Structure 1
Amino acid sequence: MKHGFVKVGAATPKIKVADCQYNRELICRKIGEAESCGTKILVLPELCITGYTCSDLFWQEIMLERAKKELLEIAAFTEGMDILAFVGLPMEVDEKLYNVAAAVKNGEILGIVPKVNLPNYAEFYEARHFTPGNSRPFLIDIGGREVPFGTDILFRCREMEGLIIGAEICEDLWVPLPPSVGHALAGATVMVNLSASDETTGKDVYRKGLINGQSARLICGYIYASAGEGESTTDLVFGGHNVISENGSTLAEAKRFQNETIYADLDIKKLRGERRRMTTFPVSRKEGYEIIDFSFRMEETKLTRKFDPAPFVPGVKFDRDKRCEEIISIQAMGLKKRFEHTNCKSAVIGISGGLDSTLALLVIARTYDMLGLPREMITAVTMPCFGTTDRTYQNAVDLTRKLGATLREINLREAVMLHFRDIGHDCSVHDVTYENSQARERTQILMNIANQTGGMVVGTGDMSELALGWATYNGDHMSMYGVNVSVPKTLVRHLVGYFADTSTDEKLKSVLIDILDTPVSPELLPPKDGDIAQKTEDIVGPYELHDFFMYYILRFGFEPDKIYRIAKIAFDGVYEEDLILKWMKVFYRRFFSQQFKRSCLPDGPKVGSVAVSPRGDLRMPSDACGRIWSEALEGL
C-alpha cells in the first residue's frame, strides 16, 4: 500500500441457482485466492449467494434463512484475513425483502448496503420481489450482532488516508443520479458495484463506457463485478463482464463468458491529487453518512499494474494517428488566429534540419493552406555555422523546397567571429559563450528578417526542452509565437512521422524519414569527421525518460520515490535502475533552476494535459528551492 497503491479484484464464481451452500464454498474459494495474492478489496456479483435468477424462489423462507446463514459462514471464513470482500444476497428486514451488498472482513460483517434503484422494465422484474433501500442507516441484528443497514454507509481504512469505499448495486449505476455520486461527495474514493447485468448485443461497450464515465466524473476507482456462467439461462445469459476503472481509464477487464477474476492496482494518492487539483470538485462534507472504520496491514503492494514508458504517445497506431492529426490541427489553428489577428502574411522560421524546426515548418505550411496564402510567403532561414553538418543542411534545404517555402541561407561564421572579437572571446574555447553566441545570432537574424518582411518569427522549441531549460535565453528560447511549446519531444517524433506516413510526395517522405533518423542536436560544436559531435541526449539524458518524469511530476504531482518506482517498471530491460536515478536527478535539478526561462515564454497553444506556460498549467516561482525533492532522491 506504499505510495497509495491498493490491489483490488472482481470475481465471478460459477454458481448454482438457489444452492446457497455450494455458492458459499465457491465465494470463499475466490476470497482465499484473492487474499493469497495480496488483494485488499474483492467484489463479487449481485445476489451471488443465491443467484440473481432465482425469481419467485426469493419468496421462499428456507432460502432466505440459508442465504443469511451462508453469509455468516463467509464472514467467519475471513477471520485472520487481510481482505475486505463484498458479497450479494437477498435479505429480509422488517418483513420486506432487499437486494443487498454485505461487506465482510476479518470474521465480521461490517455493514449492509441495500440496492436503491430496482429495474422493472424489459427483462427485469426486481420490483416484484424487492423493496428500494433506505438511505439513512439503522441497525439490524445478524447472528446476534448489530450491523448498520442503509445506502449511506462508507467503509474507511484507518491505516491508509483517503481509502474510503462506497457501494452500489447494478442498476444504481444506470440511473440519472447514482448513489455513488453521494458517496463521492461524502469522501469515497473507491466505488464497488455488485451487478448482474445480462448480455445483449453491444451492451458490453455501453456498460464499460458507463463505468469509465462514472469513475472519471467522480475521480474515483470503480470495481464492477457481474454475474456470469452458472445463472439460469431460461431467458437471459450473463457474461461475467468484470471491469476495474480508475478516473476514466480501464485498468482491467474480464473476457466475457469466461467467469474470469480480474485484479488491478488502484492509486489512491493519484485520485486524491486529482480531486485536490480540480477546484470544482466539492468539499467532502455530505451529512448523514455512517463511517465504518476497518484496518489493513500496511505492506508494500506488489505492483502488477503496467506503466506506459511513453505516456504522451498512444500505443495503438489508430489512436496515435488520431492524436497526431488533432495536435497538428490545434497548432495550426492557434497560429492561424494569430496571423488573422495581426493581419500578418509573412512567417519567418529558422530551419535546421532537426525535428523541432521540421515540425514547426510543417505546421506553418498547414496554416498557410488554411488561410489560403501561398507558401512562398513563408521564409525559412538556414543559418549554417561551426557545428552544421552536410546532412542536416541538405535536409533543411530539401524540406523547404519540397514544401514550397522561400529559402534563405545566411552563414553565421563571420558575424559570430566578429562578435567574439567584440566581447574578447577566444573562438578556440568551446564553452557556453561559444555555443550561445551562435544561438542568439540566429534569433537576431530571424527577428530582423521578420521586420524586413512585415512578418513574425515562429518558434520551434518543444516542451521537453523548456522543462529542462535546454534553450538559450533570448536565443532559440524566444519567438513571436511558439507552435511546439506544449509538445513533448517524444511526441514531436511521432508528429513528424505522421506527416511522413501520410505524405503522397515520395521525396518529401524520404527527407522526413532521414530527419527522423538524425540524432537530436543543437549543432553548436564543430563536427567530428563530418558527423554530429554534440548529441543532446548524451548531455541531458534520454528524452523518453525526461518526458516520463515530466508527465508524472506535472500531471499528478507524484513524489520522487514513487516516480522512481514506476519508472523502474516502465523501463524494465531498457535502462538500468542507477541510470534512471541519475537522469531523474538531472531533471529535478534543471527543472527547478531553469524556471526563469519558462516565466517569459512566448505565446503558444496548449495541446495536451501537461503544459509549462506561465499563463496556463504551470504557475511556478522562478526562485523555488528544490531541496526537499533532491533530498528525497538522495535517499533512494
Structure 2
Amino acid sequence: MSDRLTIALAQLTARVGDLAGNAQAISKARAAAGAADLLVTPELSIVGYPPEDLVLKPALVAAVRAEVEGLARNTADGGPALLVGAPWAEDGALYNAMLLLDGGRIAGITRKHDLPNYGTFDEKRLFTPGPLPGPLTVRGVRIGVPICEDIWAPEVCECLAETGAELLISPNGSPYEVDKGDRRLSVGVARVTETRLPLAYLNRVGGQDELVFDGASFVLNRDRTLAHRLPDWDEAVRLTEWQRGASGWSCITGEISPPDDADEAIYHAMLVGLRDYVNQNRFPGVVLGLSGGIDSALSAAVAVDALGADRVWCVMMPSPFTSQDSLEDAAACSQLLGCRLDTVRIEPAMQAFDAMLAPLFAGRAPDITEENIQSRIRGLTLMALSNKYGPMLLTTGNKSEMSVGYATIYGDMAGGYSVLKDLYKTTVFTLSRWRNGRRPRLGLGPDGPVMPQRVIDKPPTAELREGQKDQDSLPPYDLLDRILMALVEGEQSASDLIAAGLDAATVARVERLLYIAEYKRRQAPPGVKIGSRNFGRDRRYPISNAFRTA
C-alpha cells in the first residue's frame, strides 16, 4: 500500500470532434507529467465538451473507443495512469464516463450518475445515467471519481465515501458565468465537509460556440483549506503531491494562482470565446462596423485583444445623420487599437432605395422603415466585405438592445458572432472604463486607452435620424437594465417590480417588448454566455406568446 501519490491535473482545451487532436494533447500532457502516478483529464476530454448530438452518431462513438484503446495501450510503458473522459457505449446504452487507463489496458470505468438537464445542459437526451459509483483503484489507492454534476448534490460523494474512497477527484466541463467560481468552491467545501475526504476539482479551458470554460481548477484538503489553485483561462499541467497520514490523505500545499477580478473575468470570457470561435472555424479575422459609439468600440477592443490588430478590420459607414464627433471617435478608436479603418458612405445606397421604393411608398411619411433601411445597407456592405475577403462579420449589439428588440433584423443583427450578446448596456460602460485603464493579461492589444473618453461619456445614439438618442425610445439604461435583469435573470413578474415601486407603465412596456422581440433573437448570431440566463441556451421562450404579468 502506497503512502505517497503524485497526481497531475491536466487543465486542457479540447476541440469538439477532434478526437485525434485531443488524444494527442492528452499524450503530450502525460509526457509533461513525468513520473506522476496518475494524470487526470477533464470531462469528455476525448470528444470535447459539450458534444451535443455528435455523440448520437455511432461512427463517432466507435472512433472514440479506438482513440481510448490507443491511449490505453500506450500506458504499458510504466508511466502515469490516465483518467480520460469519453462517451462510452455498453450494452446498448451510452454513458458519460471516465476511464482509468493503466498497464496497457482499460483498468476501470466510472459513469456519470447525475445528468444535468437545465440551462445550458441537456445530457438526459444524450446519455444514460450510470449507477451510483464505487471508487477506482490507482497504485493501491481507492479514488472516488464524481463527474461534474455528481458533486453538486451529496448523494454520489456520500456513496463513494461509504464504499471506501480515500480521496475524491472530480473531472468537470463547467462553463464560465459571473460568480461561478465562488459557487464551485462552496460546493467543493460542502462535499469535503460531508465526506471528510480531500477533493481535487478539475475543469477545462477554452471556448466552444456560446460557452467558454475558465479552468480555475483547485484542490481542497480535508480541513477545507485550499492546497492548489490553477490559473484562470490558461492550459496547465499541475503536479500535486499527496501523502497518507494517520487521519487519511492530504495534498501538500502548492501554488495558488490568483483569480481574475470581476471585470477582468468578464472581459477574458469575451476574449477567449471570440478567439476560439474565430480560430476553430478557421476565419482569417473579423470585420465590423465602427460607428463611433461605445458598443462597437468595445467590440473592436475585444477583437484586437483576442486576435491581434492585424486580424481586425473596422469600417465606418456614415450617413447624412452621422455626426462629426462619431467620425472623429471612430478614427480615434482605430488609431488607438492599431487596426485598419475604411470609410464607406451609404448615402448613395439610401438614395437608390428611396428611388426604388418611391412608387410603393407614395403618400406615406418617412418612419422607422427608412431608419431600418440604413441599418440594412450597412449590414449588406459588411457582408459583402466578408464574402469578398473572408473575415467573419462581428455584430456589436448588447443584451439590453436585444432584450427589447432595439436592433434591426437583417441589419445590425447580421453577422457570425456577437461579442456583447450577453452584456447589458450598463456593463458595457463598466468594461469600457476598465479596458481604458488596464490591459487584460491575455490581451494582444495595446496598453493604455482603446477609445476616447468621449465615446464613454456621450449619450448613446443609433444616428438613424436627426438628433436621435437611445433614450428617445427606451428608458434610461440603468432603469432598463434593472428591469431586464429582474425579468430575465430573476424570472420575476412585472407585478413584482411594480409592487417594489417601479413605474407600472414602464415595466409593462419593457415586459411587452421583451416578449415580442423573441422572433428577432431566434435569428441572432451566437455570442458568449456571461450571466446565468443568456438568450438561446438558457432562456428558451416561445415566439408566439400571449402571457403577460402586468
Aligned partner (choices 428, 433, 438) of residue 374 of structure 2: 438
Aligned to 1:384: 318
Matches within 5 A, 1:136-285: 213=186
* Deviation, structure 1 residue 490: 0.8
SS in 1 for 2:288: strand
The aligned residue for residue 490 of structure 1 is 426
CA 1:354 to 1:428, structure 2 compared with 1: closer, same or farther past 3 Å? farther
Q: What letter corresponds to residue 514 of structure 1 in structure 2?
A: R
Q: % of aligned pairs identical?
A: 24
Point out the more displaced range, 590-599 or 549-558.
549-558
* Aligned partners of 1:462 and 1:484 also within 8 Å: yes
1:363 aligned to which of 298, 302, 307: 302
Mapped to 2, the partners of 1:440 and 1:434 lie a distance apart of: 10
Within a 5 Å distance, the mapping from 1:403-442 to structure 2 comes to 403-424=337-358, 425=361, 429-442=365-378
Question: How many residue pairs align between the two structures?
Answer: 301
Instruction: State the partner residue of 1:593.
Output: 516
| Gap change, CA 1:327 and 1:510, over 3 Å in 2 | closer
CA distance in 2 between counterparts of 1:399 and 1:417 reads: 29
Whichever residue aligns with residue 612 of structure 1, its letter is: F
Superposed, 1:58-77 pairs within 5 Å as none
2:530 is matched with which residue: 604, 607, 617? 607
* Residue identity opposite 1:364 in structure 2: A
Is 1:509 the counterpart of 2:449? The answer is: yes
Matched, 1:554 2:488: yes
Tell me if the contact between 1:417 and 1:427 (Cα under 8 Å) persists in the aligned partners: no
Question: Cα deviations across residues 392-444 of structure 1 (Å, max 9, x unaligned)?
Answer: 11100110122111111000001111011111147994411110000000000
**Structure 1 residue 326: deviation in Å?**
1.0
**Cα distance in structure 2, aligned partners of 1:618 and 1:401:** 38
Residues 288-437 of structure 1 correspond to what in structure 2 (within 5 A)?
A: 322-369=261-308, 375-424=309-358, 425=361, 429-437=365-373
Structure 2 CA distance for partners of 1:323 and 1:377, relative to 1, 3 Å: same
Counterpart check, 1:464 vs 2:400: yes
Superposed counterparts of 1:472-487, under 5 Å: 472-487=408-423
What secondary structure does 1:509 align onto? coil
Given that residues 348 and 381 in structure 1 are in contact (C-alpha distance below 8 angstroms), is that contact kept between their aligned partners in structure 2?
yes
Alpha carbons 1:420, 1:426 under 8 Å: kept: no
Deviations 1:97-134 (A, max 9, x none): xxxxxxxxxxxxxxxxxxxxxxxxxxxxxxxxxxxxxx
1:621 pairs with one of 537, 542, 550: 542
| CA apart distance, 1:563 | 2.0
Aligned with residue 584 of structure 1, among 507, 532, 542: 507
Separation in 1, partners of 2:514, 2:189: 30
**Structure 1 residue 498: deviation in Å?**
0.5
Which residue pairs with 2:477 in the alignment? 543
Q: What is the distance in 2 between the residues matched to 1:422 and 1:216?
A: 67
So what's the TM-score if we normalise by structure 2? 0.51
| Shift of residue 510, structure 1, vs aligned partner | 8.4
Which residue is equivalent to 1:290?
none
SS in 1 for 2:468: coil
Q: Deviations over 1:373-401 (max 9, x none)?
A: xx233210000002211111110011012
Larger Rg computed on CA atoms: 1
C-alpha distance in 2 between matches for 1:537 and 1:546: 10
Measured in 1, the distance between the counterparts of 2:280 and 2:499 equals 47
Q: Is the 8 A contact 1:479 1:602 kept in 2?
A: yes
Contact residue 461 and residue 484 of structure 1 kept, 8 A: yes
Note if contact 2:414-2:524 (Cα within 8 Å) is conserved in structure 1. yes
Counterpart position of 2:170: none
Q: Verify the 8 A CA contact 1:385 1:412 in the aligned structure 2.
A: yes
Does the residue aligned with 2:369 lie in a helix, a strand or coil?
helix
> Does the residue aligned with 2:452 lie in a helix, a strand or coil?
helix
State the match for 2:458 in structure 1.
518
Residue number in structure 2 paired with 1:8 = none
Amino acid corresponding to residue 512 of structure 1 in structure 2: P
Instruction: Provide structure 2 residue ranges, at least 5 long, that are not aligned to the other structure.
Output: 1-152, 156-181, 192-257
The two structures, once aligned, show a CA RMSD in angstroms of 3.3
Contact 1:443 1:476 in 2 (8 A): yes
The CA distance in 1 between the partners of 2:324 and 2:259, in whole Å, is 32
- 2:147 is matched with which residue? none
Encode CA deviations 1:339-371: one digit per residue, 9 max, x unaligned. Answer: 2122211310000011110110000001114xx
Q: Which amino acid aligns with 2:283?
A: C
Which amino acid in structure 2 is aligned with residue 355 of structure 1? I
Give the whole-Å Cα distance in 1 for the aligned partners of 2:398 and 2:296: 10
The residue identity in structure 1 corresponding to 2:280 is H
Q: How far has the Cα of 1:555 moved from its partner?
A: 2.0
Match of 2:388 in 1: 452
Secondary structure of 2:315 counterpart = strand
- One-letter code aligned to 2:367: D
CA–CA separation in structure 1 for the residues paired with 2:450 and 2:458? 13
2:189 and 2:351 map into 1 onto residues whose CA distance is 58
The one-letter amino acid paired with 2:541 is: M
* Superposed displacement of residue 507, structure 1: 11
Q: In the alignment, residue 541 of structure 1 is paired with which amino acid?
A: P
TM-score normalized by the length of structure 1: 0.44
What is the distance in 1 between the residues matched to 2:363 and 2:327?
22
What does residue 436 of structure 2 align with? 500
Structure 2 partner of 1:83? none
Question: Secondary structure of the residue that 2:534 maps to in structure 1?
Answer: coil
Q: Against the structure 1 CA distance between its residues 486 and 510, is the aligned structure 2 distance closer, same or farther, given a 3 Å change threshold?
A: closer
Aligned equivalents of 1:514, 1:494: Cα separation in 2:
14
Retained in 2: the 8 A contact 1:463–1:487? yes
Question: Counterpart of 2:334 in structure 1: which amino acid?
Answer: T
Question: 1:410 & 1:446 partners in 2: Cα distance?
Answer: 10
Q: CA deviation at 1:332?
A: 1.4
Q: CA deviation at 1:582?
A: 2.6
Alpha-carbon distance in structure 2 between the residues aligned to 1:589 and 1:361: 32
Hey, what's the Cα distance between the residues in 1 that align with 2:494 and 2:384?
Answer: 44
Q: Note closer, same or farther for the CA distance 1:492–1:427 as it changes in structure 2 (3 Å cut).
A: farther
Distance 2:297 2:259 in 1: 19
For residues 331 and 437 of structure 1, what CA distance do their matches in structure 2 show? Answer: 30
Distance, in Å, in 1 between the alignment partners of 2:538 and 2:271 is: 21
Deviates more, 1:538-547 or 1:424-433: 424-433
